[in-house]
């Protein structure tokens, strides 16, 4: 039996396919119909957030057997939603095409991007519009909020603010029990939830790994959103031993005065930024309130093209920080080219070795000649 990990939100224990569906059905009868005798040893322990969503639906007077109508908002409301979320759609489209297009090519799943109210603002992937279940939800302007269509990955991700997975009968309505979906909320550079990304299959095999895929994709979208903001300096953050320059980076962007004007979730988690928001009136704090070095030193490092610096934070932790002047990162997108990362790693190793090229070469497992050659390249 595979191990289970604490904090595995949104995924019930793995069971054989038939047993899993039977167990979900038993759980539905217990929680939604009050049939306590229906849930035996095979019953799936339904996640608390799913039960909470079911109970909200019941509190609204809804019943699982009701027919679900997938209504679109008015044409005017749809135009407003598309215009208000133009930046989100523009940042998400290339990431979805690059990541999901290949990863899900053989699954039959497709992607829906919604705004913070659960309105579909973009559709990606192989949607079979001849299938009424797929066509019902894969249209611009469809309201997929919990209020409209009950428990889904869309409503759950927006309510819980975490990645989720729902399979078939874990949805509230009988009509939506044909879907399996993974979802994750998308946060903007200001830390506010902008919407969510949903991956849906119709009468498809359960693929709980999609919860990880949607999480990774959303993190890349969030990085793209940060880098689209006007800024004077980009700071890519990593822990010691993790070279900044890839999709896992924490990202901060600063204005010319050193104030943080954007951050991705990785950066907010690494620096506990939410706890610091109150330190400065309105928005993110100043860089000097986060890092125990003058913000001017970070601008200087960017101008000199230095590699990652080990920088102390006021939390008492040290991070690797790669500083780039505003605009230097736009041509590369969220990740840095391999050649740039290699050069940065070598410069950092030499600095850590106190300028001793031989020691740096030994630590890196390369020749001194290679170190000298890379240092000479700009």
Domain ranges of the chain: 17-226, 229-336
Q: Percent of the chain at pLDDT above 70?
A: 80
Q: What is the pLDDT of residue 234?
A: 96
The dihedral over CA atoms of 353, 359, 363, 364, expressed in degrees to the nearest 10, equals: 100
Give the global pTM.
Answer: 0.80
State the fold for domain 17-226: Beta-Lactamase (3.30.450)
Is residue 10 over pLDDT 50? no
**Selection from 48-62, 134-148, 338-352 with the highest mean pLDDT:** 134-148
pLDDT digits (tens, 9 = 90+) for 263-309: 999 999 999 997 555 444 458 999 999 999 999 999 999 999 888 89
Q: What is the pLDDT of residue 335?
A: 53
pLDDT digits (tens, 9 = 90+) for 104-163: 988 999 999 999 999 999 999 999 999 999 999 999 999 999 999 999 999 999 999 999
pLDDT digits (tens, 9 = 90+) for 171-188: 999 999 999 999 999 999
User: pLDDT averaged over the chain?
Assistant: 85
Q: Measured between alpha carbons, how far is 368 from 362 in angstroms, rounded to an integer? A: 8
Q: What is the pLDDT of residue 77?
A: 96
């Amino acid at each position: 039996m595979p191990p289970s990990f604490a904090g595995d939100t949104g995924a019930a224990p793995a069971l054989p396919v038939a047993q899993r569906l039977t167990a979900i059905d038993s759980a539905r009868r217990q929680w939604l119909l009050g049939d306590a005798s229906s849930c035996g040893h095979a019953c799936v322990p339904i996640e608390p957030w799913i039960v909470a969503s079911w109970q909200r639906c019941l509190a609204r007077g809804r019943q699982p057997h009701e027919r679900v109508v997938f209504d679109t908002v008015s044409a005017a409301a749809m135009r407003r939603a598309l215009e208000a979320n133009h930046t989100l759609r523009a940042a998400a489209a290339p990431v979805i095409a690059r990541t999901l297009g290949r990863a899900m090519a053989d699954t039959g799943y497709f992607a829906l991007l919604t705004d913070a109210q659960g309105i579909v603002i973009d559709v990606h992937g192989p949607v079979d519009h001849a299938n009424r279940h797929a066509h019902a939800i894969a249209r611009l302007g469809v309201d997929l909020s919990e209020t409209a269509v009950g428990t889904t990955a869309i409503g759950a991700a927006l309510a819980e603010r975490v990645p989720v997975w729902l399979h078939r009968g874990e949805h509230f309505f009988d009509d939506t029990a044909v879907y399996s979906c993974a979802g994750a909320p998308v946060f903007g550079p200001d830390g506010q939830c902008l919407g969510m990304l949903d991956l849906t299959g119709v009468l498809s095999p359960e693929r709980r790994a999609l919860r990880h895929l949607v999480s990774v994709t959303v993190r890349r979208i969030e990085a793209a959103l940060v880098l689209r903001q006007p800024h004077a300096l980009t700071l890519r953050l990593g822990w010691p031993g993790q070279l900044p320059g890839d999709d896992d980076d924490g990202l901060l962007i600063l204005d010319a005065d050193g104030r943080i004007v954007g951050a991705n979730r990785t950066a907010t988690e690494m620096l506990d930024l939410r706890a610091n928001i109150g330190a400065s009136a309105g928005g993110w704090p100043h860089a000097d309130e986060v890092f125990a070095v003058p913000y001017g030193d970070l601008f200087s490092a960017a101008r000199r093209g230095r590699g990652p610096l080990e920088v102390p934070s006021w939390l008492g932790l040290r991070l690797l920080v790669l500083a780039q002047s505003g605009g230097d990162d736009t041509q590369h997108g969220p990740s840095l080219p391999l050649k740039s990362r290699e050069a940065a790693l070598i410069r950092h190793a030499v600095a850590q070795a106190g300028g001793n090229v031989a020691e740096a070469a030994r630590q890196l497992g390369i020749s001194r000649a290679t170190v000298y050659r890379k240092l000479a390249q700009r």
